[in-house]
Amino acid sequence: MKKLLYILFIIAFGFCNHAFAQNAKHHIKAGEQFLENGLTDAAVEEFNKAIALDPEEGKAYSSLAEALLVKGDSLAVAENYQKAAALDFDAVHNYHLAADYYYQLENTGKALESIEAGLLIKPKDIDLLLLKAQIYYYQKEYTTSYEVSAAAIKSKDLALAYFYNGASAFYLGDIDEAEKNLEKAIIRDKNLAEAYLVIAEMQLGQEKYEYAVDNCSMVLLLLDPENVRALVLRSRAFQAMNEPDDAISDITKAIGLSNNNEDLLLERAQINLDYALYSDAIHDYSIVISQNPSSLESYQNRAYAYEQLGQTEMALSDYIILQGLLESSGRNPELKLYTQNRIFELGEETIKPVVEIETPNINDNLELSVEEGLQKFTLRGIILDNSDLKELKVNNSPVSFVKEAPGRYVFSIE
């Protein structure tokens, strides 16, 4: 009798599990219909009901991720694709989706974790290999990117695989390998803008400036007229060709497209300095300083530009601010010494010595008060001067003086 009851219990338990599973599938189907009709919140509710009934149903997590994608919750999307993959529901594909969304969220650690989990199941999966190569490439870990993209090439003959391999080879210093594989990338995808730009960067290093201009122009004219990197590289090529107007035009477009990027503003400012366009350089450095008040480079170069325009007081003001920044940071001793020297030299030009007579007394009309009949008296005073006073003369005759303190000199005349 007990055995019979036990068997009946097992059958009932199995039936309940089957019922829960069927109910979960019912909610998944309902959620998919809601999603197709644009009822995202209702779809999310149905998928969550399915998960509550059967937490091992991988499709419920995958479907929930699709719904949450519509709502723009990228982190939840990644997490649910990861859960679906872990439950072995279309695992490799879902690991790739999870990795992709983690990477978009700049969580490269979780992205690589998902990729490795997928590669354990399918070591030669081209999507996972390409994403892994991409992550390491943009992290500037070129050795790993080179190795992973080489594996991707063996898996499938794709333009992106050759691009990551060739570009990584370039940054690793293997120019021949870079040229060969970047050319293969372009043969397989003539619209791969990044390949043209890595080649242009390579040509800049080889001083093939006209070729670099051509490759950047190819991207800007035929593929992407607002490609910031193409504009920046072409600007550098124009500058190397001593064509400042074109160089400034391109970098200015890049600055506009990148919302006043600090590095690009500094690059344009340097071009302006190089071509003695000091007012324009001051304008650029002023924008950078408004965005980053601790920019040492901006204060130093703006002060230099002011000097070239003869605006000594403005230059001195910038050097004084720069000195304060250097003292608080405790770095760059060479720049600190240079700044101190410039402050000293400019101070001589802008801060004139002040002479104060201590004895005898002097009135508001600058008249000495001397006793009547006095044939001889001593004139004693001080000179306030931040410069290093070397010599003092009165009526073209040398007068002795003593440095009492920095910037304070005492003299006496009989």
Question: Does residue 383 sit in helix, strand or coil?
Answer: strand
Q: Which pLDDT band holds residue 23 (cuts at 50, 70, 90)? A: confident
Question: Does residue 406 sit in helix, strand or coil?
Answer: coil
Nearest Cα neighbor of 44 from 74, 70, 79 is 70
Mean pLDDT value of segment 274-281: 97
Query: What span, in angstroms and rounded, lies between the C-alpha atoms of 346 and 329?
Result: 24
Assign residue 295 a region: left if phi > 0, alpha if psi is -120 to 50, beta otherwise?
A: beta
What does the radius of gyration of the chain's CA atoms come to, in whole angstroms? 37
Q: Are 247 and 236 in contact (CB under 8 A)?
A: yes
Other beta carbons within 10 angstroms of residue 49's beta carbon come to: 18
The pLDDT, as a whole number, for residue 7 is: 40
Most confident by average pLDDT, 24-28, 59-63, 377-381: 59-63
The pLDDT, as a whole number, for residue 400 is: 72
Mean pLDDT value of segment 382-403: 65
As separate numbers, helices (DSSP H) first and strands (DSSP E) second, the chain gives 19, 6
Question: Does residue 368 sit in helix, strand or coil?
Answer: strand
Taking the model in full, what pTM does it have? Answer: 0.76
Q: Dmax over Cα atoms in the chain, in whole Å? A: 145
Residue spans of the domains in the chain: they are 355-361+373-413
Q: Which pLDDT band holds residue 315 (cuts at 50, 70, 90)? A: very high
Tokens representing residue 339 in the block: 């700044």
Query: What span, in angstroms and rounded, lies between the C-alpha atoms of 110 and 315?
Result: 50
In three-state form (DSSP H/G/I as H, E/B as E, the rest C), the secondary structure along 109-128 is HHHHHHHHHHHHHCCCCHHH
Mean pLDDT, rounded, of the chain: 87
User: Using one digit for the tens of pLDDT, what is the confidence trace for 30-46?
Assistant: 999 999 999 999 999 99
| pLDDT > 80? residue 153 | yes
User: Using one digit for the tens of pLDDT, what is the confidence trace for 330-380?
Assistant: 788 899 999 988 988 887 655 555 666 666 666 666 565 656 665 555 556
Integer angstrom CA distances of residue 226 from 110, 210, 220, 238: 32, 20, 7, 18
Query: What span, in angstroms and rounded, lies between the C-alpha atoms of 132 and 122?
Result: 14
Sequence-ordered list of residues with C-beta below 8 angstroms from that of 141, at least 6 positions apart, any chain: none
Query: What span, in angstroms and rounded, lies between the C-alpha atoms of 161 and 93?
Result: 19
| DSSP designation for 381 | E
Mean pLDDT value of segment 296-325: 95
Least confident of 52-61, 106-115, 131-140, 279-288: 52-61
Residue 376's Cβ-count burial label (10 Å; 0-12, 13-18, 19+) is exposed
Q: Are 279 and 309 in contact (CB under 8 A)?
A: yes
The pLDDT, as a whole number, for residue 102 is: 95
Query: What span, in angstroms and rounded, lies between the C-alpha atoms of 145 and 167?
Result: 9
Question: Does residue 288 sit in helix, strand or coil?
Answer: helix
User: Using one digit for the tens of pLDDT, what is the confidence trace for 227-268?
Assistant: 999 999 999 999 999 999 999 999 999 999 999 999 999 999
| DSSP designation for 362 | B
The residues facing 411 across adjacent strands are: 381, 401
Q: Are 296 and 332 in contact (CB under 8 A)?
A: yes
Q: Are 219 and 230 in contact (CB under 8 A)?
A: yes
Own/partner contacts of 113-118, CB < 8 Å, gap of 24 or more, are 114/78, 114/82, 114/85, 117/85, 117/86, 118/85, 118/91, 118/92
The pLDDT, as a whole number, for residue 398 is: 77
User: Using one digit for the tens of pLDDT, what is the confidence trace for 71-89?
Assistant: 999 999 999 999 999 998 8
